Amino acid sequence: MSELCWTSMTELRRMIATKKVSPVEVVRAHLDRIAALDGKLKSYITVLADAALAAARAAEAAVTSGGTLGPLHGVPVGLKDLYCTKGVRTTGGSKILADWVPEEDATVVARLVGAGAIVLGKLNMHEFAYGPEGLNPHYGTPWNPWDAKTHRVCGGSSSGSGASVAAGICPGALGSDTGGSIRIPASLCGLSGIKPTYGRVSRAGVLPLAWSMDHVGPMCRSAADCALMLAPMAGYDPRDPTTSVLPVADYAAALTGQLKGLRVGILRSFFLEGAGPAQRAAVEAAAKALAGQGASMEDVDLKSINLAPAASHAVLAPEAYAYHEAWLKTRASEYGADVRERLRVGAFVTGAEYVKGQRLRTLLKNEVDAALAKLDVLLAPTTPIEATAVGQDEVRIGDQSLPVRASLIRFTRPFNLTGHPAASVPCGFTAEGLPMGLQIIGRPFDEATVLRVADAYQRLTDWHTRRPAATA
């Protein structure tokens, strides 16, 4: 298999711009690998081979003619299949939208393509993004590349994004995150991913799960690649009135490797104390590594954090129901059983309960803001568990047996409620060889610091450079 498929986006861009490699060669290498591996991985719903090769030839011509090259010129990307793509079906991982062809691109798709990226295809996902395991009864459940023998979940809902980037059949992908759907698959697949601040990246043209909790962001094999991919995506968009007019930082310039003087809070109760022993040890070791470079550490507790599950239920369930209401009345049988049931629950949340959930969000946001008034970032495990087998419903954490689904979203969804930026980077492997994630939470619109810490940690460790044995 071509080494090009394991080359970083940053390096691919450099090699293309300096004519060390042609975009056509890069795209062909990825398409060949998709053909070889994706029958089992099931990470793509639609592969755009012809369009990608045509775009690659145009990108090659631009290099040859000495034209201006965008920051992602000739670099392939994958799109979770809830991003609208003009003329290309956008399924949302569903049967209901199996043949839906949008008439325009989502803003972030247009911006990535405008920056020179080449779209390889549309990636598999939990149906309508409503599930943290990444299951899909319609297109097949993606296979976690870190276990060739047991079919394990990739985490969701951006499971195809997780599987494809981890298996080297896509160097970077778009995910979306309503309760952890970028960070959970990043954690379970050994990737780097960032959920930016709510309002930093446009949601226009992205199929919603819950409008007030949906976030758009990149999933790559390093924090540096996330910075490269996020830059052209971020910024105000008149098509999404929730986007901010605040200027976008220079994320690449923020990657200084410097940690001296950084003030770090470790989220201990609920988060670290609620994680499995391997995850707890990995995050403690990561904190120690950062402290060794001059960062100061202190424990932080969020008083109202136990309210997050109730608040999330009160807000997410009725918003999701509202979007799906008409289909639930006329096409209910076309949903997968788990998503249909989850959506119907939203019909029974009252208006007063929804407002109560929104008031709880204010409480939680104020507490995270207060913690970050004296600290630069917060650390927590991304998930309390590693990837479980497909079909496994319960998992043991300490002496407790807990539902897999609730466990997967436990540490991520608080920051969908508060809107703070949060990244996940690999911080170790379990004894079974499964990846674990470190979550880094920052101040609103301070993605630069989150990415700086993530990148500095990756300069100290090699977790993010490891490859799944079955696909190496």
For the bound state, the minimum distance from the C-beta of residue 171 to other proteins, rounded and expressed in Å, comes to 36
The residue among 188, 169, 87, 71 whose CA lies nearest residue 123 is 169
Contacts to other proteins from residues 322-341, by CB under 8 A: 328-329, 341
157 catalytically annotated: yes
For the bound state, the minimum distance from the C-beta of residue 334 to other proteins, rounded and expressed in Å, comes to 15
Which of 4, 307, 371, 387 forms a contact with other proteins (CB under 8 A)?
307
Residue 289 — φ and ψ, nearest 5°? -65, -40
Which of 45, 77, 173, 317 forms a contact with other proteins (CB under 8 A)?
317
Q: Is 73 left (phi over 0), alpha (psi -120 to 50) or beta?
A: beta
Residue 239 in contact with other proteins, rule: CB under 8 A: no
Interface map 399-438 toward other proteins (x if CB under 8 A): ------------------x---------------------
In 90-214, DSSP assigns E strands to 118-123, 172-177, 192-195
Residue 349 in contact with other proteins, rule: CB under 8 A: yes
Interface map 194-213 toward other proteins (x if CB under 8 A): ------------------x-
Catalytic residue among 181, 192, 222, 407: 181
Residue 460 in contact with other proteins, rule: CB under 8 A: no
Interface map 2-31 toward other proteins (x if CB under 8 A): ------------------------------
Residue 394 in contact with other proteins, rule: CB under 8 A: no
Which of 278, 360, 378, 409 forms a contact with other proteins (CB under 8 A)?
360
181 catalytically annotated: yes
Q: Tell me if 78 sits within 8 A of 160, measured CB to CB.
A: yes
Q: Which residue has the tokens 């670099």?
A: 75
DSSP string of 259-283, one letter each residue:
-TT-EEEEETTTTGGGS-HHHHHHH
Q: Tell me if 161 sits within 8 A of 142, measured CB to CB.
A: no
Q: Tell me if 264 sits within 8 A of 297, measured CB to CB.
A: yes
Residue 53 in contact with other proteins, rule: CB under 8 A: no
- Rounded-to-integer distance, Cα 35 and Cα 44, Å: 11
Which of 314, 385, 409, 454 forms a contact with other proteins (CB under 8 A)?
314
Residue 370 in contact with other proteins, rule: CB under 8 A: no
Q: How many residues does the chain have?
A: 472
86 catalytically annotated: no
For the bound state, the minimum distance from the C-beta of residue 349 to other proteins, rounded and expressed in Å, comes to 7
Q: Give the containing element (helix H, strand E) for 322.
A: helix 308-330
Which of 171, 357, 414, 428 forms a contact with other proteins (CB under 8 A)?
357
- Rounded-to-integer distance, Cα 360 and Cα 209, Å: 20
- Rounded-to-integer distance, Cα 72 and Cα 70, Å: 5
- Rounded-to-integer distance, Cα 170 and Cα 168, Å: 5
For the bound state, the minimum distance from the C-beta of residue 322 to other proteins, rounded and expressed in Å, comes to 11
For the bound state, the minimum distance from the C-beta of residue 126 to other proteins, rounded and expressed in Å, comes to 17
- Rounded-to-integer distance, Cα 209 and Cα 319, Å: 7
CA atoms within 13 A of residue 137's CA, in its CB half-sphere: 13
In 341-430, DSSP assigns E strands to 377-381, 394-397, 400-403, 422-429
Q: Contact region for other proteins (CB under 8 A) — 256-264, 290-298, 357-365, 370-378?
A: 357-365
Q: So which residues are the catalytic ones?
A: 80, 157, 181
Which spans of this chain sit near other proteins (rule: CB under 8 A)? Answer: 212, 307, 309-310, 313-314, 317, 328-329, 341-342, 344-345, 347-349, 353, 355-363, 365, 417
